[in-house]
Structure formats: C-alpha cells, structure tokens
Chain A
Amino acid sequence: MRLALNEVWNTALKAARAAGVGNGIAEDVADAAAWLCRHGEDGLAATAAALGDPLPVGTAAQSGVAGSGTQVQVGPEQDDREPDIVNTWTFADARVALAGPSALDLLNAGLCDRVRFESLDAPWLLLGLAGAEASRRGCAFCIGWHDGTACTVTPVGVVLGAPPVAKPSPDSQTAPAHPSATLSRSEWRTPHDGLDLDIEDHSVADANTLARGVLVPSSEASRARGAGDGNASEPD
C-alpha cells in the first residue's frame, strides 16, 4: 500500500500514544518509523513489533518483559584510537520504545560511552530511533549486534553493515529466544523523496489497529453534551 511519509509518521504517533508512552516518546517513535521508511525499511512493522505487547508502567530501566534475547550495544561511532570503552550503561529486558530514547539521551549527554541492551524486544525500532537522532543531530551511531557484527547509522542511512536480526513480520509474534542472524553488506540507500513509498499491507493494518487506540467511542454522555453538533450545516 502506498503511503505518504506524513501518514507513516501520524500512524506511528497514534499507535505509540495509544500504548500510553506519552507524547514525547510517541514523537520519537514516529520519527523512527518515518526514518526507517525513508530508508527503505518497514517502519510501521517495526512500530507494531515494539508496541504490540503492552508496555510496562514505570521507568525505562524497569521494562520487564523479555524480548527477543538479542544483545546489542549502542554507542558513539567507534574511534580506533580509543578502543577501551569503560563507561557502559546497561538495560536489562529493554522495551525499545522506552529505553531507546533514554539510551540516546545518555549518549548525547555524555553520561556514558556505550549503552548495552541485554535483551531487546524490537531491534528494528532501535535502528530507527538511532537513525532519526542521527538525522536531527548530524551525527552517527554504531550498533554492535549480539553476534559481534556492527552497523553504523548516519543521517543518510545505514552505511556499514546490516542489522543481523529478522525483520518484523506477522510470523514473528512468538519471539524466538535466539533470532536468526543474517550478514550482508548494506546498500547505500538514497533517502526516499516521498514518492511511491510502498509498505506491506499487513504492516499498515497492524499499525492502524494500534493507532485506533486513541479514538474515543461515542457515548450517551458525549451525545448528551452535544458532541459533534458543531459545524452543523445551516442554510445560507
């Protein structure tokens, strides 16, 4: 199904709001979804994968639902002159929608050199969050995956490596304990100019289902208060 980037952004925003993450996190998720789509990946599927299960109430560090078991490390772009990174923040059982923005905050604020996720539920959304942040700040992030591989996320896309984690799909509802890994040389993708953005129909449907969570059904009480009576047509 062809979508405009703004539609992707708004659908992801509503889905995140419906999940109860708060508008600031919701906007970051929406930016991530749009960034992924703009670089040829299914941002709505990544959003649905991250939000499909209820998010825990509480802090990002307390996100308690076990994810895919993928271990990733997020840090600033590697500098070979300083291989010994000693200041690492670790998230256990991270829900990316909450932990991802916090991880990027820690790195941007210089509070740590690296963030480790011991168990990540939605690695593709992490990629999108890092990519969107890279675009905002004109910087790059390096993601090291559990199998030792790494990719670098920049404002213009993933320039080195490829995420060795399965892309979200309807078949991945039962998260494998150890997702399969694929190694491939990533292509240099020109950022999408918004023409003919084609997204899998099931991704659109899943995200829209989540986004409908922000809609309020009509009720006797709302009708009694005159809801919807504005803009009534008047003869003129």
Chain B
Amino acid sequence: MNPPVSVGPGTEPAGLPSGTVSSRTSGSRPATDPLRPADKVMRLSRMGASFPTRLSFSRRLLRQLAASGASVDRPVWTMDANGHGRAVYRTTVGAQSYSLCAFTRELAPEERTDRVIATAWDAAFVLFDGDPDEAELERLASAAPLQEAGRFTARDLVLSRANKSTRLFEHVVERLAAGLQPDAALVQRIGYLMRTTAVYGNGKFGIADRSRLVDDPLLGAPFQAEMLTVLLIRQLTVDLAEHVARARGGERAVPLARDLRRQLGVGNATGLGMAPFLVSHPRLVHRWVMARETALARVRAVRAPGDDCKASAMRLLARARQHASEWCVDDDGAMACITTVRTELAGIAEVVDATWLAAPWPWRRLHTLAEACSADTEEIIVALLIELHPELVDELAETMACREVSTLDAAMPSGKVRALAEATYGWTDHIDFDSREATARFWYVSEDKFEPRFGFRFDEPGADRETPLGIARDARRLLDALRDTDPHAPIAALLMTQPSLRDVVRRVQCAASEPYAEIRDNLLDATCRPIDMLRFKLAFFGATGFDPRSDLWTRITLFQGAPGTDELALGNAPDLPFPVFAHTHMPPVGVAPDGATPTHTSGEGSCASH
C-alpha cells in the first residue's frame, strides 16, 4: 500500500494561481494534511461511492455564471400547442454568447428508448457558438434531430438529445393546466421532466474540437460546455411544460412554483460509453482527483474554524441526512448502501455537536469518524467538508484541466521502469492472469450501431478486437518482460522488440508523478462493475440521485436543486450540496411516497449489513 502523499511547497496541483486565497499570507500556500493514497481512492469500490462536491463541473459552472454576471434570454420560441417546435436559449457573458438551439417533436411511445441505438427523440439540441441566424437555425433544425447521423460545424459546440419522463411531464402539464401544482412526492421521486441520453462534445460528428474552447473564460474548464447545455435544457423542460399547460388550460393554467422548479433537474441514462474515457485520459483523471484530495487535505488542516463555519457544518450534516433519507432506489445492493449511510450519518450526528466541534482540528476528527464507516458515508462526509471552506477550495477547480500530451522517456533505464511499474502496479501481484476469472470480461464496441459493450470473453466472440482497457494485465506483461531485461539498458531497446508494451510504459512513467492517474483494479475481472466507473465520473460532473439499473448503467440527475436561469441574473446562485425536498407534502422518513408499507427501512436505529 502506498504511503499517503504529502503535499507541501512545490507539490501543489499544477496550474494553481498564486496568492489568491485571502486566508493565507501573501505568496504562501495553505497548510495541508497528507493526501489520501491512490491505493485507497482509486479502487473501483471507492470510486463507486463517489459523491459530488463543490469542485464538480456543474457547480463550477454555476459559480462562473454568477460571478461573470451572465444572463440568459430566449430570443426564439416557436412551439405549437403540444410543445413541438423550436427554441433558442442564449447565454450572454460580456461580448460573448452561446445559444442552446432546441428542436422538439412528436414521438411515438414505441420509438422512445434511452439506448444509444435510438434514432428519434423527444428533443434534440445543439449548443451554438454565438447567435444563430435563420440560415443556421434551419441547418440545425435539419441536422440536430439526426444526431450521430448528422454532420455539424465548428460553431456547434455540443450535441445532445433528450426524452421526456412521460409520466411526470404529463402529470405536471395536467396539474398546471388545472390551476394546481403537481404532486410533490412524484416530482421528488422522478426528479426531472426530461432526461438526456447523450451529450457529445470535442469534435464528435464534426462539432468543435475542445481545443477551440481551452482559452474561453466560461467554457475553457472541463465539461463546461456540456454543463451549460444541460443547464439550459433544464430551463427548456420547465418552459415546455408550462407552455403546454397554458395551451390546454388557458386562463386557469398556473406556472410551476419556484420551489418545485428547483427540485427538477435533468435526468440522464448513463451507460458503458462513459467508462473508457477514464482509462484513456489518465492525466486528466489525476488532475480531478488531485484537486479533490487537496481540497480535503486543506480543510482537514484547519485548526480552529469560525463559529459560522461550524454552524454550517451542523446544517450540512442535517441536510446530508435528509438527502439520504429521501434517496430511494430499486436496486437492492445500492439501497443497502444507502440504508447503511443513513445509519452511519445518524451515528455521526449523535457525536458531532457544538462542544465536539469546539476542540482543535474538528474537520480532521470528523473525517476520522467517517473513515471508520462505509465508503459511501466517508465520501459524503468528504463532500461535506469540502463544502465548508470555499476560500481554500474553489481555486482548485482551475487545476482540473489538462492537455493530454503523451510523452515517453525512451532513455529511462529498464530497471527504473521496473521500479516504477512495481510501485504503481504492485497490487497486480496477486492476480493470476492465466485464470479465467481474471480475464473473464472484455470491452468492445459493437458493429451494429457502435454500441459500447462489456462482453464475456470465453462465451462470445470478439475478444480479438477488444478495446484496450486491460491496463492491469498489460502492466503484468511489462513486469514479466522486464524481469529478464538488463536494468541499465534504455527502455527503447525493449520497445524495439515488443512495441505492444509502448502504451503501458508510457502510463507507468506518467503514474510516477501522477499517482491518481490509474484505476487500481483489474477491469477485465469477472467481478468488475462498470457502474463504479460511471458513478466516479458522474460525481465529478455533479450528478446526484444515483439510481443504478444494473452493473452497466445508471440514471442520475444533474442540477437538481440549482437556481433557475432567471435567478442567475440576480447573482443569486447559492451552492446547494445534498439536494433535499423540504416540502410539507413529503411523507415521514421511512414511509413510501404512496403511503404503502415501506419496502426499505430508513435505517434509523437499524444496522443494515453492507
């Protein structure tokens, strides 16, 4: 097991602005505790317990929009009574504007699917760079509904599509048309009016390469263009429901109450396609995790927080408990984890009071309490702690970008490569890659519809075309090859005779200085759960409401609890961790929303095994 990584002068995350934190003396860096080791936080089971923090990309976007005085207007709204037509939502920041162009249509129920093989959707979107004129809108009206089958230009920044939550959308329309608000319990249970099934960026199908945005003040950070797209889609979904309600109800129709608006996010059905990214972008992943772990380490090192900060911690702990009590899923394994979280957070709440917080280093002690709990509970507490000190944390959001430059030190002696490989991949020693279990699965892309899949190596064909995600196996092969190699010979000599090792050598050299770059589990193993990779990435997006449907895909919600786009104009963009549904219509914790006998206990006072 690697020792904790200590961060001190000279080892801060790269790209950190200097002297920007008011709590520090000029030119100094904040004190930090040791960082959590990669052997802990880069294990799949831990990654699968990830929780969004204020460093998440959606949170950063909201802060940037508020700080930059961004405004959102809707210069185009051409919808029929059924909500079919087109709309443009324009975000203006100074002299720049970005326009979400939306195209909605009638969709037969049998056509509606979240799978990547779908060919029609309720709505198609393009985030356009600037203000589209009529010709551009016509071009997009033709191309956007085609999605992957269309071709786009360098002014098209993001391509997306979404389907309605038919049950909730229709319910909301009916209620608003009748002059009533929708059933809060149903709104809470579903959490969105539409869910996206893909959000494409970075050059796909001809849209703009990410390199075009790296210097953009709003969209330059990772996934900001994608997050802006989803935020604007969220506004559209509410506007659409209100529009259809007005068409049906006339004068009787009412708008959606603001507190219910905030509880609606944008859903997403996330599948395997997201997983390979984490393997193919090791340096970027390192940046993300490094920022998060540095944030935690800084907060842990705070000796005596102010009374306001301690009060915030108490409020957030109560909020986290409420969030966990409202979080219900159908998957038994996931629900067991949530039940454990409820129990453990209750236990922590019994200990943590004003007196307990008054002693020095309260955050370090709180994290220590959480470390004795389940991974899910610890990660929720980590998110809570990171929330407490924006002055220490927010600047780290600017260190999360990375231009992936693959360099290889061909002169490095083979002995040194071996030492680095053993340090990073020593955990593979116990794996027998000759066993069926260790290589039972393989990743591939299907020929029909280019759908990513996770196959069974010994039961189906195609392993000869597998996507190269078996890094652990490759590392083992490298170590085997280096065993009989002259340790003084440059690694270039080995690569001349075994070019297939090139990628893993590059990764080994990178991991030496970027310990969070690699997932420390065998992604080919029979027990590998892709859902853990999906949740890790989605947490960095800022997703909440993880609702796994299998080991291969999950539903989530983005921007649930966030302010509306009209609230951004007021500068009123409060950070909202742990979205809760504080509504008088909510049943007590432990009672199913329909009042039926609960199928899951709240966990209060119970100890569900996990």
Contact = CB atoms under 8 A, between A and B. Distances in A.
B115 A221 contact: no
A214 B202 CA distance: 21
A179 interface: no
Interface string A1-36: 011111100100000011001111101100100000
A90 to B, nearest CB: 13
Contacts of A7: 203-206
Interface in B161-212: 163, 165-168, 190, 197, 202-212
B444 A5 contact: no
Given A24-B503, A216-B444, A221-B460, A4 B204 contact: yes
A20 B151 CA distance: 30
A216 B446 contact: yes
A173 interface: no
Interface string A205-232: 0000000111111110110110110111
Interface in A88-120: 98, 101-102, 104-106, 108-111
B460 A227 contact: yes
Contacts of A44: none
B462 A230 contact: no
B212 A110 contact: no
Contact of A59 (B456, B459, B497, B504): B497
Given A6-B203, A230-B272, A236-B168, A24 B114 contact: no
Contacts of B348: none
Given A196-B154, A217-B447, A98 B499 contact: yes
B114 A233 contact: yes
A212 B447 contact: yes
Interface stretch (B21-29, B46-54, B294-302, B403-411): B403-411
Contacts of B203: 4-7, 10, 194
A140 to B, nearest CB: 16
Given A221-B461, A236-B168, A4 B448 contact: no
Contacts of A86: none
B446 A231 contact: no
B271 interface: yes
A100 to B, nearest CB: 11
A102 B502 CA distance: 10
A27 B459 contact: no
Contacts of A159: none
B502 A222 contact: no
A82 interface: no
Interface string A152-167: 0000000000000000
Contacts of A178: none
Nearest to A195: B154
A4 B208 contact: yes
B549 A215 contact: no
Contact of B503 (A23, A193, A214, A215): A23
B453 interface: yes
A18 to B, nearest CB: 7
Contacts of B115: 228, 230-233
Interface in A64-102: 98, 101-102
B499 A60 contact: yes
Contact of B496 (A4, A25, A102, A235): A102
Contacts of B271: 230-231
Interface in B427-480: 444-448, 450-451, 453, 455-456, 459-462, 465, 467-468
Contact of A24 (B444, B460, B493, B505): B505
A189 interface: no
B188 to A, nearest CB: 13
A175 interface: no
A219 B500 contact: no
A201 interface: no
A232 B113 contact: yes
Nearest to B330: A234
B254 interface: no
Interface string B100-121: 0000000000001111110000
Interface in B80-128: 112-117
Contact of A6 (B153, B210, B468, B552): B210
Interface in B258-314: 269, 271-272
Contacts of B210: 6
B499 A194 contact: no
| From A27, A213, A230, residue with most partner B Cβ within 10 Å | A230
B425 interface: no
A214 to B, nearest CB: 5
A29 to B, nearest CB: 11
Contact of A17 (B167, B468, B492): B468
Contact of A231 (B114, B151, B501, B505): B114
Nearest to A223: B460
A24 B490 contact: no
B165 A236 contact: yes
Contacts of B163: 233
A116 to B, nearest CB: 15
Contacts of A214: 444-445, 465, 467
Given A98-B499, A216-B462, A234-B549, A109 B492 contact: yes
B541 interface: no
Given A59-B496, A111-B490, A222-B455, A23 B468 contact: yes
Given A18-B465, A136-B407, A225 B444 contact: no
Interface of A: 2-7, 10, 17-18, 21-25, 27-28, 31, 59-61, 98, 101-102, 104-106, 108-111, 136-137, 193-196, 212-219, 221-222, 224-225, 227-228, 230-236
Given A4-B209, A105-B496, A195-B154, 10 more contacts: A6-B202, A194-B209, A214-B465, A216-B446, A219-B461, A230-B271, A230-B553, A231-B113, A231-B552, A232-B113
27 contacts: A4-B202, A4-B204, A4-B209, A5-B203, A7-B204, A7-B205, A24-B503, A27-B406, A31-B406, A60-B497, A105-B410, A111-B490, A111-B492, A193-B212, A194-B212, A216-B444, A218-B448, A221-B459, A227-B453, A227-B460, A231-B113, A231-B197, A231-B271, A231-B549, A235-B166, A236-B167, A236-B190
Closest 10 A/B residue pairs (Cβ): A24-B502, A6-B203, A4-B203, A24-B503, A216-B462, A105-B410, A22-B500, A221-B460, A109-B411, A230-B552
